[in-house]
Structure formats: C-alpha cells, structure tokens
Structure 1
Amino acid sequence: MKRAFAVDTVIDRPAQDVWQVLTDWERAPRWMKGVESMRAESSTRIGSTITFNARGKTRTSEIADLDEGRSITLVTIQGAVTARYVYRLEPLDGGARTHAHLTADLATTGFPWILFAPLLRLAVRRTDAGQIRALRAAAEGTQA
C-alpha cells in the first residue's frame, strides 16, 4: 500500500470523548465529507462491518484492527482498490486534550487500476484529508 495522506490535529477534548465521536457511526456523516449515512452491523470490534452511503453508492468497511479508545483501522475494498484508514488518538496534557492522527493508504491491483493509482491517491487526499479537522470540530462542538 502507498500513502495517500497523513494528517493530525490537537483536539481540546479528552481522548475518551473524541473516541465516542469517532465511533458513533450513525453520526459520522457530520464530519465525514461525502458520506450521507453510516451504520455498523454490530458492535465496534475487529471484523465488524460498517456500511455507508457515499456519493450515491453503498460501500462497506471492515474494522481490521482495534485498540479500544486509542486506534481503529478501517479497510474498504472496491474491486481492484483497497483503502486503509487508521485513526489514532493520544492523550495530551494529562488527558485534557487529544492528539488525533489519520493516515490513509491505497493499493490497486491489475490493469488499468495500477496506472490510475496516483490519481486515486490524489482524489482520496482531496476528499478525506479534512476529516481530522472536521472530527475536531464535531468533538469540540464547534461545528455548525
């Protein structure tokens, strides 16, 4: 997989509060640009499926890795394209604030997808790199 982007921010809320916002799947469209709806098929655990509607299409992600309250990895496979999003939260200032990280990696297989991989990474960066700032706004309650 090749990196599409890596972003981070400091959120003026404890990590446990940020985690609640991050894993409240039904409310995630508040901070996930382009996502109209989202729901989890079961509790937040490794192997759980999350179904979401984005840009008029229904897609699924699987929770591939989880460290409750600290990190979650979501993997989405669409044909020849695999995307992996890793959200990490680190407490700061004795737990009063949170350093939030988001990385997105993409892999493509087969022709012509391998040729389009750089453009796909650029599109993912343009669409999703703002998620961490939007998560911050949602967690801090500053979003309109």
Structure 2
Amino acid sequence: MATRSIATEIDIAASPERVWQVLTDWRRYPEWNPFIVGLHGRHEAGARLVATLHPPGGRRLTFRPRLSEFSAGSLMAWRGKLLVAGLLDGEHRFRLEALDGGGTRLHHVEDFSGLLLPLIGDGLLERARQGFLQMNQALKRRCEALASQAPA
C-alpha cells in the first residue's frame, strides 16, 4: 500500500529531558502549540487520546488516535484513522535524539496510508507540514526559554 510522509526535524538548545517534559505536558499545549492545540489522554501505549489540530489555513479537526508507542524520554507515537482503519490512516511520531553538547534533535514525522490517500491533495499535506514546522519552532522557543531560566 502506498504511503506519503511528512518528515521534519529541529535542533533545540535544551536537554532531551527538558524537551520531553514540555512535549509530554499536554495540558499546556494551548499555551504554546499553534498546531496541536489540544491533546488529552494517558501517557501509556494503548491509551486512546483526544487530539485537536489546527493546521495553518485550515479548520480545527478533532480525532481520537491510539497511543502506539510511549518510551519515556525518547519516543511518542500515535495512530489515527478516518472513520475506519484502511481508509485514511496516519502514524504521528516524535523522537528525541541527544546531541553532543547537551542539545536535542526532534524528529517529527507522520506517515499516511489508506485507500483515500491518492485523493488527498498536496495542499492538505503542505498545510500539515507547515503545522509541523510551526510546532517545532514553538517547541524550540519554549524549551530554550525554560532552559535559560533553570538554575545552573
């Protein structure tokens, strides 16, 4: 089955622990996250989440993905579907990579698949990619601001 992917990354001048703390503090997403404006659920693989996205130039969309992976400090992924599995599925992943010198590289990726994938226009995927980039920048700003406030 064909897939289409959005893959972004950003380097953050903060420890992986700090980035993970901000990334998994879902109740604070509305304070800083322009793309995932709401995320609720338990921090454990298999948990059902409620996610609200606001892609640039698009309308808000709420869906209920399942947390497929949750490896504390390094990886968080969920899998969502449109109506039924196989119609239009997406797997959204955040992976943290420790950098030499104490920073963190965030890998922010989504793989789309399903019968409706050929009907999904490039504009929709580009809006989602822009949302990823906006979120990455906002996460970087928040983590670096918090890191600069932390006692040495």
The alignment's TM-score, normalised by the length of structure 2, stands at 0.75
Give secondary structure in 2 for the equivalent of 1:76.
Answer: strand
Given residue 64 of structure 1, which amino acid in structure 2 is its aligned partner?
S
CA gap 1:103/1:73 in 2 versus in 1, 3 angstroms: same
| Equivalent of 1:70 in 70, 74, 93 | 74
Q: State the SS of the aligned residue for 2:139.
A: helix
Task: Structure 1: give runs of 5+ residues left out of the alignment.
Answer: none
Choose from 89, 93, 117 the match for 1:82.
89
The residue that corresponds to 2:139 in the other structure is 135
Contact 1:35–1:52 at 8 Å: present in 2 too?
yes
Q: Distance in 1 between matches of 2:67 and 2:19?
A: 18
Number of residues of Structure 1 aligned to a counterpart in Structure 2? 136
| CA deviation after TM superposition for structure 1 residue 34, in Å | 4.1
Q: Which has the higher strand share?
A: 1
Post-superposition Cα deviations, 1:75-132, rounded to whole Å, max 9, x if no partner, equal: 12122221111111111225x21111111111122xxx24323434334223334322
Aligned match of 1:45: 44
CA RMSD of the aligned region, Å? 2.2
- Residue correspondence of structure 1 range 1-144 to structure 2 within 5 A: 2-40=3-41, 42=42, 44-54=43-53, 55-79=59-83, 80-93=87-100, 96-109=102-115, 113-119=116-122, 120-141=124-145
Which stretch shows the higher mean deviation, 5-14 or 48-57?
Answer: 48-57
Which structure 2 segments of 5+ residues have no match? 54-58, 147-152
Check 1:100–1:28 CA distance in 2 against 1; reply closer, same or farther (3 A cut).
same
Give 1:106's aligned amino acid: F
Q: Percent identity?
A: 24
Pairwise CA distance, 1:57 = 4.1
Opposite residue 104 of structure 1, the aligned amino acid is E
